[in-house]
Structure 1
Amino acid sequence: MSIPNGPAGPLRFPDDFGWGAATSAYQIEGAAKEDGRGESVWDTFSRVPGRTRNGDTGDVAIDHYHRYAEDLDLMRDLGLRSYRFSISWPRIQPDGTGTPNQRGLDFYRRLLDGLHERGITPMATLFHWDLPQALQDAGGWESRDTSQRFADYADLVFHALGDRVPAWLTVNEPKTVVQNGYLTGHHAPGRQDPDAAYLVAHHLQLAHGLAVAALRASGSDSRIGPAFNLHPCYPADDSPQAAAAAHLYDGYENRLYLDSLLKGSYPEDVLTDLGPQSRMARGIRDGDLAIISAPVDLLAVQYYTPIYVTADGGTEHRWATSEATWQQIYPEGLYDLLTRITREYGPIPLTITENGLPTPDTLAADDTVQDTGRISFLRDHLAAAHRAIADGVPLESFHVWSLLDNFEWDAGYDQRWGLVYVDYATQRRVLKSSATWYRSVIADGGF
């Protein structure tokens, strides 16, 4: 893959590079009780007082369910080549099992047809955290059966929509479900149970593998892979203790997911740290890792922040943070991450499916939103991605998180991550300065 410019010149990406943006169903769709959609764990979680900022929910979100055509036109006008979105499991199977809800499938058919009509390639995610509440009531991801229910749902969706979807993503950020849903408890289902958390990790990886098997069995020639949020872990100092602590931290943050997917084994240091009697260790059955590590066609990478690990296993901040105080702004971490994956796991095709930050966006009197901080962030991270491509990383596409301002999980509507400003009172969409900048980048093939 050649890139026709030197380091001092403009950054030009390959002609076939997939310029995109990303969303997820619960964060944008709304219509939570319409057309047969069932309850999800996020419907339940967000209604518990104190769980989300201002008590916000995704009941209405940004009403994409009704305004999808307008949003598709926005994507076309920005020149997007790729759109990464998610399918709402409870919209397809209200109770997580059984006969599909035809009205839910029809919505996604309309969305997919609209993308194709506008020359935008769909990239569909099967699970972006909105587990049907009925399955949570039956044990959720702690239950091995949920992995099989996910495979059944995936098979149903492949057969219903697969002719319209060239690339599928199975599970979005299993690590976030593990850490935020079962360790800290500030995401659905709101648990704080470390022993359950890593059993959940195994069942999410298993669900991914079973969905891959379902796609292969269907005879589809669509591509498939998971979406992992990965955080490069650096020692906070030069001591051997910090190096050892950073290595174990990396095991939980990255290798737990990458090794099982691409090497067919969980990292021994993590298994040892969890102990032989952990629920995860006891939950791994013969053949599971063969299912998890079945060959995939691509790996979706989501990068937001590095982690600096101290000698005692704690963490510290080294760089300026965004409005999301957990996010340190360090573009070099993206380069390190991409080159590490290629170096350690081989030349698997990569796509960046989330990269972005929240900024304090306000709508000015002249109907503009000047989010220059987002432009700087994206420029620096795209430059890191460009350098990784030049150094041999098979990176195919880049999706900004997010296309539109939306419901940001436990942060509610207080954080704005979008290229497009949404006036939540009226649902009016306004292009931010970052959107017009990104449109020029796409048109020029770089900057």
Structure 2
Amino acid sequence: MPSQKLSTLEKVGFGAGDMALNVVISSMMLLITFFYTDIYGLKTTDLALLFVLVKVVGAIADLVMGQLTDRYTSKGGRYRPYLLWLAVPYGISVFFVFTTPDWQYSAKLIWAYSTYILMTVMTAGVGIPYISLVSALTNDPKERLSANGYRLFFAKIGAFMVTIIVPILAQKWGDGNPAVGYQAAMAVMAAMGIGLFLFCNFTTTERVVHVVEKQSLLAQLKVLLRNDQWLILCGVCVTGTVGYVVRGSVAIYYAKYYLGGDTETVAAFLSTGVIAAILSMVASTWITKFYCKVKLFRYTQIAVAAISAVIYFTVKPGDMALAFILYFLLSFVVDLHAPVFWSAIAETIDYGQVKTGKRVSGFAFGGISVCQKAGMAVAGGLVGILLSYFNYQPNLEQTQFALTGIALMFSVIPGFFHLVMGMLMFKYRISDDYYTEVKVQMRDSGYIAG
């Protein structure tokens, strides 16, 4: 089958979808813990249980959506219609999460659980079709990598808007009431997410049609368990997500309490990491033209562990300049692997079809998303438990013990998970040359229908 090139507009449209998705993802990684403890008023112990429970629900929702995308298609395609149908419910659910009702604590806790679960289900409704969409856009691995480069670039733009615009708008519009400010700021982000998903739907085309045999969930699971390369990505996803979320969740605490920054400084610190990640997306796309993408994945994550240790041992409380420099470096290096990872999922699905004779697509993407949810659940629970252990007190001057805990949660602890992530990639072997052989076998076996 000939290579299928994507236009710049289609790549931008595809990227817009992840920008929309990052209204939630970035908020969950960078804002939600701080929002729930310092603004909404949840106890850290309740927060830990909330994060774990919600991610379990999210994992189930991901699997359900994976089955729906495998079993049903329409005139608009297998994946794109969900972006059209669920864009508005998704945006509304985001707005609800950042709404703080003036109720008793128990009622507020119920509202937090209910709205977070609703948002998680809606995110699965658009997220699984979206991350699966790249496999239907083109069968060219270079074009997939390029499309994912655009995707992750726009994702970081979305993250940038969340990290710098939301805190500043919340302070400006809150007029002394941060809960009102966050509600208004996130309403803007939610509206933006709706528009971006609609733009993604109308500018992309599903041109690759894979032959998907109807199989029971158990049968699909058995097939996936025989796909050793997909299993490696599952482990990579869990460990990497734990590292990302732990660091991201405490970044605000680190900037505010450990470095002693005000609102503008906190926003600048978070934005420094996002800007570095944006540049990383551009650099990764360029580097992988000349250097093995699998090796890039491995060694960058090992480097992240080393940089994390340097941050812990060299940055002292209030050491603002050094913290900014090292955080920029860490954020740049850690995201060099990202386009490779999201392209690799589609490649492991093709690899598995050649190896087993059966294709499992929706469950495979859904399974990766479940792994991401599992990592977020572990990280969320871990953050809640560690904040309690280190005796963190919202909106108060922290003890030295609490500051040490925040520093560890920002550096060494997530760095360990990235080290494990990099080591796991030494078992991954689907390079571009290897994948070219897989495509030839798929074509010869009649696995690609269009």
TM-score (norm 1): 0.25
Quick check: which one's helix share is greater? 2
Higher relative contact order (CA 8 A, sep 6+): 2
